[in-house]
Amino acid sequence: MIDIVFYFQVHQPYRISKWKPGDRIHKLAYFDDPLNKLVLQRVAERCYLPMNRVLLDAIDRTDGQFRCAFSLSGTVIKQLRDWAPAALDSFVELAESDCVEFLCETSQHSLAALEHPDEFRAQVELQRATVQDLFGSKPTTFRNTELILDNRICGLVESMGFSTMLGEGFERVLGWRSPQVPYTPKGCKALKLLLRSYSLSDDIAFRFSNSKWPQYPLFADTFASWLHGLPPPAQFVGLFMDYETFGEHQGAQTGIFDFMRRLPDEVLTNPGFRFRTPAQVAAELPSVGDLDIAQPLSWADVERNLSAWLGNPMQTQAHRELYAMRPMLMEVAERRPDLLEAWRRMTTSDHVYYVATKGHSDAEVHDYFSPHDSPHAAFVSLMTAVDDLRLQVQRARGDVRSTELGR
């Protein structure tokens, strides 16, 4: 029996406005809420609402045989609550089917795991509580931002009580080994690591509408036949992708919704295949052995490393200055939670992603997502906001100290 594991990442950042040095920023209004609302509502109409209906229909039509998993970042959950509550309700309806697993991640889709373990734990606990409250069950599977992991991060995740983690099945780490069997990260005792089959995943997420692709147009029966033809030792197939693939990145006119309507039935024509959630696979399949992930691995760009976010001096400076602010921020966080909220929104990985200066296909992807005119413009906007927030934190610390001195 081979398990098909669909995992969908749902995320929207709070994009920073196009600030310039010398601009006056009032009341921590760093973020372009008109743009954020516009994008969120557009994606809800194009993707979340129609695709959730497709998946609910697949669950009903197959009498619960179709199963999948989601991770919704804390930032997209907040935006859905504020600007598209009907779309959020449709995710809750999926949870109520008992055929969909909702995963945990950092609340802000941040890079905290790379820089500050305490902040990482804080954001994970916030997200765990949000997921449990919203979807009705405590998450046991973890996916770090952009599937970033290494041995250290996996150990941290295991220490927080998670039993399963998702990662990228890239040859740099795997070598000759298969991405389609469970592993245990080196140094962990029980954490199961389920990896993404990136070629099959990207056939849907990136190549589906590419008319120059030799397999274009891709039909559900064709893709199902590729799955059915997988050789040993395949035990599961991790099809992990951004949920916005459906209807937003790949528009409805491409046939992507029809493809997904038909795919579950096509897969199930072979009795040797079934759909499972990550938690089910981890519970049912033993680890085949340890996997040593000495250097951070991600699912982004050609290199599958950290260069999408920390690949040039502008990115590393922004990242360093942002996290350097945390100690003094925590001194005033209790009396000024608005400062902490603004700072955490700035930790969202998208902000440094927009500052990448890459070439070729990677640059095209970064440019597609960025609301800024150039990486340098994105850097200026981010650093202007960071500098202003630092000033507000310093003023708040001064208020605290002057009060204490006056006692």
The letter for the amino acid at 117 is P
* Single-letter amino acid code for the residue at 217: P
Is residue 13 within 8 Å of residue 31, measured between CB atoms? no
Q: Which of 101, 105, 146, 248 is catalytic?
A: 146
Q: What is the 3-state secondary structure (H, E, C) of 156-197?
A: HHHHCCCCEEEEECCHHHHCCCCCCCCEEECCCCCCEEEEEC
Nearest to 240 by CA among 177, 180, 284: 180
> Which tokens belong to 243?
């949920």
- Cα-based angle 26, 28, 31 (whole degrees, multiple of 5): 100
115 is catalytic: no
Alpha helix (H) residue ranges in 14-108: 33-43, 49-61, 74-83, 85-96
Distances (CA, A) of 96 to 11, 59, 143: 21, 11, 22
Residue 217: asked if its preceding bond is cis (omega within 30°), the reply is yes
Distance CA 308, CA 356 (A): 6
Helices and strands, counts by H and E, the chain? 19, 10
**Residues identified as active-site:** 146
